[in-house]
Amino acid sequence: MALVNEHFLKLPNNYLFADIAKKVNIFKATHKGAEVISLGIGDVTQPLCPAVIEALHKATDEMATRQGFRGYGPEQGYDFLREAILKNDFLPRGIHLDIDEVFINDGAKSDTGNIQELIRWDNTVAVTDPIYPVYIDSNAMIGRAGMKGEDGRWSNIYYMPCNAENDFVPELPERRVDVIYLCYPNNPTGTVLTKGELRKWVNYALKNEAIIFFDAAYEAYIQNPSIPHSIYEIKGARKCAIEFHSYSKTAGFTGVRCGYTIVPKELTAATLDGRRIPLNPLWNRRQCTKFNGTSYLSQRAAEAIYTPEGKRQVRQTIDYYMENSKKMLATFKDMGFDVQGGENAPYIWMRVPERSDSWRFFEELLYGAHVVCTPGVGFGPSGEGYVRFTAFGSKEQTEEALERIRKWLK
């Protein structure tokens, strides 16, 4: 008799963004003609840049000929892209990586979800709170998270609250943890870690033989030149950190699907009898077994981001979104809201007015201003009392949304 993996049954049936979509659909069904502006889900709105479009057409034409046709690529990705990554994303920051430390993927969600397969089922996982739900849910599915309590916390997860009290910067764990998920620039709070703060985490991991899963999906949005773009800018990080990158937000690849993961060869985890096992070959084995590489077209598209034109065009789009962010930050402050982030990240984290809560404010905003945000509690217990806005709308929609919110508040 086939038995189900009962860990799945501990997960709430709902998924944050599905819940939001449902509520928005109900609103639309009951308010015919109302135009809803979404600054909720973190999806981009601007088209792919011309360099990427050109690369996609060219790769398509190659696939139409016997000589140019590409079948299975390497599971780890094509060297043309891995080399471009090393040369553009790491060398200029003084980070020297080997090509076989780079694994091309179909976006960071897959790899941040799958990476936990490499570690023992009973390792203790620490997460910042609020947090991108995938980190916890992927651990819950294998039983590593324990049980979900009525307070919304999983019994085997160590939560590191990020709130107004600590300026949204997590404090080092008070007890030993084995694995730590960090995402900076942060989703959802939009905060960043300075080099000094990030160094504390690397040192903690080295001292405790912990591993950091570092999600750098939003690094392209960093404006302040002193903020690290990669955890490998910190000495010792190669021994303790795996880093995830995505082109989704960097170059509007949410529909194209491409990103990459760095698994340094120096990084090890222990066996119960104390041997140190490098994780790079294990991740390679995992990918070769359960993944057949990312679309050739998507990889050629990603390569184009690193050409001079590609770089310039991608930067323009990021600047466009950051212009939105600036406007939102200024306007929200002007309206008297308490807001975080938005300076080095495409996310703005807003405290909801007193006597409201995340979901209530979400609904008030939807019904009052026809604007969609993301309820902060969807990112974890410490997100209660906050909502997230994204800068990924169009300029016009963002301005219109701000105008509507201003009117609604009056």
Question: Footprint of a second copy on residues 223-252 (CB under 8 A)?
Answer: 248, 252
Q: Is residue 323 close enough to count as binding a second copy by CB under 8 A? A: no
Comparison of 113 and 353: residue with beta carbon closer to a second copy: 113
Q: Is residue 257 close enough to count as binding a second copy by CB under 8 A? A: yes
> Which one of residues 20, 95, 192, 279 is an interface residue with a second copy (CB under 8 A)?
279
Q: Is residue 172 close enough to count as binding a second copy by CB under 8 A? A: no
Alpha-carbon distance 146 to 157, whole Å? 8
Cβ neighbors of 6 (< 8 A, separation 6 or more) are none
Cβ neighbors of 129 (< 8 A, separation 6 or more) are 159, 160, 161, 162, 379, 380, 381, 382, 383
Q: Is residue 206 close enough to count as binding a second copy by CB under 8 A? A: no
Report the nearest approach of a second copy to the CB of residue 194 (Å). 25
Cβ neighbors of 186 (< 8 A, separation 6 or more) are 128, 162, 168, 192, 218, 341, 345, 347
Residue 172, CA atoms < 13 Å, CB-side half-sphere: 15
Alpha-carbon distance 308 to 237, whole Å? 30
> Which one of residues 37, 39, 97, 119 is an interface residue with a second copy (CB under 8 A)?
119
Return the structure tokens found at 184. Answer: 């900076």
Return the structure tokens found at 151. Answer: 């307070």
> Which one of residues 113, 173, 353, 368 is an interface residue with a second copy (CB under 8 A)?
113
Comparison of 220 and 405: residue with beta carbon closer to a second copy: 220
Q: Is residue 309 close enough to count as binding a second copy by CB under 8 A? A: no
DSSP string, 64-114: TSTTT---S--TT--HHHHHHHIIIIIGGGT----GGGEEEES-HHHHHHH
- Read off the amino acid at residue 107: G
Provide the 8-state DSSP code for 154: B
Alpha-carbon distance 68 to 56, whole Å? 14
Report the nearest approach of a second copy to the CB of residue 259 (Å). 10
Q: Is residue 44 close enough to count as binding a second copy by CB under 8 A? A: yes
- Contact pattern from residue 332 through residue 371 relative to a second copy, giving x for each residue in contact according to CB under 8 A and a dash for the rest: ----------------------------------------
> Which one of residues 86, 162, 179, 318 is an interface residue with a second copy (CB under 8 A)?
179
Q: Which stretch binds a second copy (CB under 8 A): 66-74, 152-160, 311-319, 371-379?
A: 66-74
Q: Is residue 289 close enough to count as binding a second copy by CB under 8 A? A: yes
Q: Is residue 89 close enough to count as binding a second copy by CB under 8 A? A: no
Comparison of 303 and 343: residue with beta carbon closer to a second copy: 303
> Which one of residues 11, 19, 156, 223 is an interface residue with a second copy (CB under 8 A)?
11
Report the nearest approach of a second copy to the CB of residue 407 (Å). 26
Return the structure tokens found at 45. Answer: 């709105």
> Which one of residues 277, 330, 335, 409 is an interface residue with a second copy (CB under 8 A)?
277
Q: Which stretch binds a second copy (CB under 8 A): 58-66, 184-192, 337-345, 376-384?
A: 58-66
Place of tokens 């023992």: 120
Report the nearest approach of a second copy to the CB of residue 268 (Å). 8
Tell me how far CA of residue 387 lies from CA of 93, 144, 215, 301, 400, in angstroms. 34, 28, 21, 34, 19
Q: Is residue 56 close enough to count as binding a second copy by CB under 8 A? A: yes
Question: 180: exposed, middle or buried (C-beta count within 10 Å: 0-12, 13-18, 19+)?
Answer: buried
Q: Is residue 80 close enough to count as binding a second copy by CB under 8 A? A: no
Cβ neighbors of 146 (< 8 A, separation 6 or more) are 154, 155, 156, 157
Q: Is residue 36 close enough to count as binding a second copy by CB under 8 A? A: no
Report the nearest approach of a second copy to the CB of residue 353 (Å). 30
Report the nearest approach of a second copy to the CB of residue 369 (Å). 23
The two beta strands, 37-38 and 125-129, are unpaired
Q: How many residues bind a second copy (CB under 8 A)?
A: 90
